[in-house]
Structures are given as C-alpha cells and as structure tokens.
A and B are shown apart, each in its own frame.
Chain A
Amino acid sequence: MWSDLFLVPFLTGLCLAIVLPLLGCYLRLRDEWLAALAYSHVAAAGALLALVVAIPPAVGGIAAAGLAGAGKRIFAGRLAGGASYALLLLGGWAVAVLLAANHPMAERLGHALFDGQLYFSGNEQLWLVAVCGLIALLILRALSKHLLLAHVYPDFFRIRGLRAWPTQGGFDLLAALLLALATMSMGVMGAFALVFIPPWLAFRRARNWRSGLRLALLIGLLAYVTAFLVALSLDQPFGPVLALVLILAGLVIA
C-alpha cells in the first residue's frame, strides 16, 4: 500500500485526521457540531456548480463554504439556534442533488463526494491540505483561549473589549474552509464523522480541556488509520468504513 498510489491519499487523510477532531472540539464547545454537515454540503454544492461552469471543483467548493462561513454572521440575528446551519445544510444538499441530476459530470463528482472516496487525492491536494491544516492548527491554538472565554464568560469577553472578529467570525471562516477541504478529500460524511465522533467521546471521557484535545486527536488518528487499512484491503469506499469504525469506537468508549 505504500506506493505513491496510496501513500498520497493516506497522507492527505492523515493531515485531516489530525486537524478535524481538534476543529470538532471547538465546534462542539460552541454547540455548532451541525456546522460540519452544513459546510460540507455547501462545499459539495459549490464544487458541483464549479464543475458545471468549467471552474476547478476544489475552488468552487472552498469558495462556497468560505462565503457561507463569512456570511453566517450577517444573518445571525434572524437565524439563531442553529437555524443557519440547518438552512445551509438543506440548501447545499438541494443544489448538489439537482446539479447531479441534470449534469452527467456533476453526477460522477457528486457520487465521489457523497460516497467518500479518499483514493483520488493527488500531490497538489496533499500539499494544499498539509499547508492549510498546519495553518489551521496554528490559528486554533491562537484562538483557543478566547473561544473558551467567549463561551464560558460571554459578558467578560465583551466587557474586556475582545471583538467577535477574529475570535468568532474568524473561527466560522476557518471551520468552513477546513470542512470544504476535507469534503473535497474524503467526502461529506467522512469529514463529518471525524469532526463529530472523536470530540463527542473526548468530551465524555476527558479530565480537562487539554486532555480532551489529546483524546479527540488520538481517537481520530486511530480510527482513520484503521479505516484506511480496512477499506483498502476490502476494496470498499473509505467514507462509510471510517464512519463505521468511529461508530464502533463510540459504542465501546462512550
């Protein structure tokens, strides 16, 4: 399996298996785990739309999710209580399905995005994911304290003059862009599984925030490597195998 054919996809997924569980911890902190599904669906719709108008799908996916993440706060007043994510999810899904139903090329890409096929990742995608993942880790580290403070003591956060941008608006944008990248690489549900299940388990089991981050990272990495080996050896699509491995881990650990 360590030929370039599989090594590049493996490393691409490995980068995502490091950063997505950590991102998921901060999404869960903000009760925004639904964001993972929403941004993934918007990214999928953006990628299919880009394909139809002859733009690289990755550009379309990242742009659509980025716009959704940046624009979310504009409608925050009217779309409280997670409504924004539900609308984005439904809108992304509807556009993606309609495009796939009416355009043969979009149908093929749509299948890849929703089935979660990691094995088509190339060198360019690996570099993009690796560089963006590293930058995202540094940004998360920088935002971590303020994200926690804004959640636990919103009045103290505001009274000290700490702004919604970059802490909250910037985090929205970061989450959207990372999930778009992940969706392009491992599909909608593969990305969602890594964002949702490791943090869920870590929040139940960890003794404190730092150990929670470490536990989420460990669970994500172990599940990813296991799923990659199983999917490859059994010649199965990666996304569903990853989801099943994580569900199994969830049932054992929770």
Chain B
Amino acid sequence: MSFLLQIKQLVAGWQQPATQPVDLTLAAGEIVGLTGPNGVGKSTLLAALAGRAKVFSGSIEQRPGLRLALQTQDVPPVDGLPLSGRELLALTGATADRLPPWLAERLDLRLDRLSGGQRHYLALWAILQAPADLVLLDEPTNNLDAAGVAHLTAHLRERAEAGAGMIVVSHDAAFVEGVCDRVLVLGACNVE
C-alpha cells in the first residue's frame, strides 16, 4: 500500500450529509490543503477522518497501523489549570526541539499565563510534534501573527520531509499556497 489514506466518494456529516462526495489520496510526506467557503464541510471531513463525524456514503481506507493526530479549532480548556507548556508537550509525546525562541523561553509558564497566540501555537505544536504518520490540522493559523505563520509554514514542510502526511483546512490563501503540495477546493453540498 503506497498511500497513507485513500478517500473515495466520501460524504460525511453529523445528523445529515454536510459535504459533497470527496475523492482524495494522500501519500507519506505530502501536504494537501482543503479550502472552500464556509459551510462546505471542511472541518466535518476532518472529523470524519478522525472517526468523529458520520460517514453517509463512500469509503475511507487507511494504511494499517496509521497513527493519527488531530488539531481542532476548539481551544484546550486550560484556564485555571496549573499546567505548564512543558507538561502539555509531554502529554502528547511532542518534543520542544525547534520551537521558536519566543515560545521556548516560556515553556515553564502555566498555559493560562500565556497570550492567546502563544497558547494557540503551543497547543498546536503539541499535536504537530506528537508521534504521528498523518496530521489533520483545522485552521492552524488562527490567532497567529506573521512570525508564527512563517514558523509554522517552515515547520510543516520539515515535518512532511520527515515522512508525515498532512491535511490542512485553512481560509488563509497565502498560507495554503506556501505550504501545500496540492489543494482540494470543496464546493457546496448538493446531497439531499
């Protein structure tokens, strides 16, 4: 099996179908972007790949033993929790190597003492750097400044060169253009 993931005519949703039929094959080391207007089911598609959303038709085939990591738009609930950045990374098995300096020096602070952007990037990093073959990212550039987006772009390419496959949902056209090998544009759902 040469691919990490193969999707054929997949229609996913929650109570009812929320995507058009999607075909996608992802190889190791490849980054695919998912774009499209709001409401076409980009996040739902990621949720279906992660086993959260319902598959109404079509199929998902994964390489046996595939290790997944999923970053959602939900903010980790760390307010009022005495959890440091270093402890957060340890939870997912992520390494702190190559963290940007502006974050590396704050690793021992509580997460609820960090700014929104710092907290978001650290929470994202914990998923990105977790041992995984396929990483699913949902709007990873939210709350990031230009330096954060630049660091993330470079790091995703490094991660892909090391063999990880990635599917990235984003509205940030420049980011998608800069980081993805291919882009799949989802259209409105016509499924009844």
Contacts and interface: CB of A to CB of B under 8 A. Distances in A.
Q: Do A and B bind each other?
A: yes
Interface of A: 29, 145, 148-149, 151-153, 155-156, 158-160, 202-212
A202 B110 CA distance: 13
Contact of A152 (B67, B70, B77, B84): B77
Given A159-B51, A205-B82, A209-B84, 18 more contacts: A145-B90, A151-B77, A152-B76, A152-B88, A152-B91, A153-B76, A153-B92, A156-B69, A156-B92, A156-B127, A159-B69, A160-B68, A204-B80, A206-B82, A207-B108, A207-B109, A208-B86, A208-B108
A138 to B, nearest CB: 20
The range of chain B's interface size is: 20 to 34
Residue of B68, B70, B78, B82 most packed against chain A (CB within 10 A): B82
A205 B61 CA distance: 48
Given A153-B91, A155-B50, A159-B51, A203 B72 contact: no
A155 B91 contact: no
Nearest to A146: B91
Contacts of B139: none
Given A155-B50, A159-B69, A211 B88 contact: no
16 contacts: A145-B91, A148-B83, A149-B92, A151-B77, A153-B91, A155-B70, A156-B69, A156-B70, A159-B51, A159-B68, A159-B69, A160-B67, A202-B82, A204-B80, A207-B82, A209-B81
Contact of B87 (A155, A159, A160, A209): A209
B151 interface: no
Residue of B51, B68, B88, B91 most packed against chain A (CB within 10 A): B91
Interface SS, B side: loop
B86 to A, nearest CB: 8
B12 to A, nearest CB: 15
B28 to A, nearest CB: 18
B130 interface: yes
A123 B144 CA distance: 60
Contacts of B80: 203-204
Interface SS, A side: helix
Contacts of B8: none
Nearest to A213: B82
A29 B83 CA distance: 10
A222 to B, nearest CB: 19
Contacts, number: 66
Residue of A160, A208, A210 most packed against chain B (CB within 10 A): A208
Nearest to A215: B82
B81 A153 contact: no
Contacts of A160: 67-68
A199 to B, nearest CB: 10
B127 A153 contact: yes
A155 B52 contact: yes
A16 to B, nearest CB: 23
A150 to B, nearest CB: 10
A175 to B, nearest CB: 18
Given A152-B78, A156-B70, A159-B68, A208 B87 contact: yes
Given A155-B70, A208-B83, A212-B82, A148 B91 contact: yes
Contacts of B91: 145, 148-149, 152-153
Residue of A206, A207, A209 most packed against chain B (CB within 10 A): A209
Interface in B64-117: 67-70, 72, 74, 76-78, 80-84, 86-88, 90-92, 108-110
A149 B51 CA distance: 18
A207 B84 contact: yes
Nearest to A199: B82
Given A153-B76, A155-B50, A209 B83 contact: yes
B81 A29 contact: yes
Contacts of B88: 152
Nearest to A216: B82
Contacts of A208: 82-84, 86-87, 108, 110
Nearest to B74: A155
A221 B127 CA distance: 37
Nearest to B47: A155
